């Protein structure tokens, strides 16, 4: 049975283009599993051809995504934060995805600005540089000055990029549904949910008003922090497709030699950057999730200037508290407690192989047991967790993987600034403060009050719901539905037991019935047909009984 596309006539050409690219990079078998080759008009003989590049599958996947364009590049970047879905070698390769493309013609950019702001750029900006400062698949950035001489940067979305993105998102949803039905991955992961999350994230990224609000939120959170500067957003010139920000100048945070030549203390910069990250995570629960060096500049006074707030992560209080509890049982080397906490947080399934997960967690914790904090690197810890997450299908929230990636990138920059830098030592006072807050009388009383309200609600609603349930049962409207997955091992074992029981009963009944016929049979030669049929049936039933006994004996 073939799949029906959501929009076959509008998107079939794009489907076929995607199919040809995947086949050329050696992923035709994936399309074949989903029964797409006939629909995409891709000859099956192409599956026998060697991939275009004689390299491993992770590299070929990265090259295929880059060739398919911005939506798939962004999708690959999101997948690079999901080591619960892909093996570590794929995660490492997809982290290399590049989002750089030739700039769009300046005339098209000017028309886009005029369409969004209702005026030509010459009426808004005193100057507007035609050569972009940066160009990516979704947007490009130009330097400009306002009429009062204020220097700004103008981020402009590429013309006509949204229809392309929407088409590709529809196709990704179709492919996710197919993979959910026809591939082994669909038996393990909710691929449609992953595709929906990605579509939500990408559509948010296309709205520059959201990025402006993120910048304002960071500025408010750090209003008392003298060593972080967030550029101003000029809201009167900002729309969903155009963002105008204050232009800031400085030295890239990873240009160590330039920083030293300018007289900066790189150890102080490393300390400030670590404090900023820790405050974002433990205090605010709102952090910059794209901390590559190009997004941070060092300004006079050892002030760090931050840019590009399109990608952020959020940790609510519940998740922060649960992470601290996970940290506590890990420090205590309580592997059983670690597994229970992972299940409590919804990161491990209740039916996970606890013994094997405990074994893997024990090996991980033993590796770091007794090591001083200065010898532990966040990057190494994250890399050690990745294969465990993949092996046991641990479903960490996306924001948590973004946090791990953020800490790893910032630790790498900090180590360039100060080779003796110790992220854990810097964060320890903040963690202790958070733990004290977690178990403070005010925090405990707040949780007790919340539990009391929930118990009160339950006590108030229980009689009403119980009456409804009893009435429904009395009227025959209440049903109990037991749903068991088709590939559940318990169901398979139950099927085997039932089959043996049925075969045993039928065989016994057959033998008894044939035995009752024996006195009525005639054994005078030549034997009549009824005698032959009875003897053959008796022999067949005996063999079936012997086979049944042997199968039971072999199974233990």
β pairing state of 296-299 and 312-314: unpaired
Question: Distance (Å, rounded) from C-alpha 407 to C-alpha 277?
Answer: 8
Task: Classify the phi-psi angles of 100: left when phi > 0, otherwise alpha if psi is within -120 to 50, otherwise beta.
Answer: beta
CA distance 299 to 253: 10
CA dihedral 230, 232, 235, 241 (to 10 degrees): -50
Residue 244 tokens, joined: 């105008």
Q: Which residue bears the tokens 């100060």?
A: 418
Residues designated catalytic? 290
> What is the rounded distance in angstroms from the CA atom of residue 326 to the CA atom of residue 334?
10
Q: What distance in Å separates the CA atoms of residue 276 and residue 410, rounded to the nearest whole number?
A: 10
State the angle between helix axes of 191-205 and 208-221 in degrees (0 to 180), rounded to the nearest 10.
80
Q: How far is CA 171 from CA 18, 79, 166, 360, in A?
A: 9, 17, 9, 38
Tokens matching residue 3? 């799949």
**Encoding tokens for residue 514?**
């044939």
Task: State the Cα–Cα distance between residues 144 and 337, nearest whole angstrom.
Answer: 56
What is the distance between the alpha carbons of residues 22 and 34, in angstroms, rounded to a whole number?
13
Classify strands 242-246 and 251-252 as parallel, antiparallel or unpaired: unpaired
- CA dist., res. 173 & res. 195, Å (int): 6
């Amino acid at each position: 049975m073939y799949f029906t596309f959501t929009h076959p006539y509008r998107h079939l050409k794009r489907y076929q283009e995607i199919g040809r690219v995947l086949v050329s990079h050696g992923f035709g078998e994936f399309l074949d599993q989903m029964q797409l080759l006939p629909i995409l008009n891709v000859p099956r003989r192409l599956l026998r051809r060697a991939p275009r590049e004689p390299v491993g599958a992770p590299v070929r996947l990265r090259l295929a995504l880059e060739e398919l364009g911005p939506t798939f590049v962004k999708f690959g970047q999101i997948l690079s934060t999901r080591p619960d879905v892909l093996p570590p070698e794929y995660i490492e390769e997809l982290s290399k995805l590049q989002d750089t493309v030739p700039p769009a013609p300046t005339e098209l950019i000017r028309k886009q600005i005029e369409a969004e702001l209702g005026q030509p750029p010459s009426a808004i900006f005193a100057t507007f540089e035609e050569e972009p400062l940066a160009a990516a698949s979704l947007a490009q950035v130009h330097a400009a000055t306002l009429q009062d001489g204020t220097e700004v940067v103008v981020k402009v979305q590429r013309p006509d990029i949204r229809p392309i993105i929407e088409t590709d998102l529809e196709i990704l949803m179709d492919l996710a549904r197919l993979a959910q039905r026809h591939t082994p991955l669909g038996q393990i992961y909710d691929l449609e949910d992953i595709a929906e999350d990605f579509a939500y994230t990408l559509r948010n990224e296309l709205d520059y008003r959201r990025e402006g609000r993120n910048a304002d939120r960071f500025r408010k959170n750090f209003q008392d922090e003298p060593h972080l500067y967030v550029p101003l957003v000029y809201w009167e010139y900002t729309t969903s497709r155009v963002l105008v920000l204050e232009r800031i100048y400085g030295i890239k945070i990873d240009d160590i030699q330039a920083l030293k030549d300018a007289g900066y203390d790189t150890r102080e910069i490393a300390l400030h950057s670590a404090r900023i990250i820790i405050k974002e995570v433990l205090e605010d629960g709102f952090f910059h999730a794209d901390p590559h060096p190009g997004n941070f500049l060092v300004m006079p006074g050892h002030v760090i200037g931050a840019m590009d707030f399109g990608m952020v992560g959020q940790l609510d209080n519940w998740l922060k508290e649960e992470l601290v509890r996970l940290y506590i049982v890990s420090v205590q080397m309580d592997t059983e407690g670690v597994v229970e906490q992972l299940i409590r947080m919804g990161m491990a399934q209740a039916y996970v192989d606890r013994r094997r997960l405990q074994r893997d967690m024990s090996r991980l914790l033993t590796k770091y047991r007794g090591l001083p904090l200065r010898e532990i690197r966040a990057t190494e810890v994250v890399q050690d967790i990745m294969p465990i997450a993949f092996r046991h299908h641990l479903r960490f929230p996306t924001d948590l993987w973004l946090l791990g990636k953020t800490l790893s990138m910032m630790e790498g920059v900090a180590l360039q600034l100060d080779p003796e830098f110790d992220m854990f030592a810097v964060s320890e006072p903040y963690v202790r403060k958070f733990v004290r807050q977690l178990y403070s009388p005010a925090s405990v009383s707040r949780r007790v009050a919340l539990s009391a309200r929930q118990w009160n609600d339950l006590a108030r609603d229980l009689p009403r719901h119980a009456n409804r349930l009893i009435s429904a049962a009395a009227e025959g409207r209440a049903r109990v539905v037991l749903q068991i997955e088709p590939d559940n091992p318990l169901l398979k074992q139950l099927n085997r037991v039932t089959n043996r029981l049925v075969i045993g009963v039928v065989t016994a009944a057959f033998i008894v019935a044939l035995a009752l016929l024996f006195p009525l049979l005639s054994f005078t030669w030549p034997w009549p047909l009824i005698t032959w049929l009875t003897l053959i049936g008796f022999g067949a039933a005996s063999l079936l009984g012997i086979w049944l006994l042997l199968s039971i004996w072999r199974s233990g």
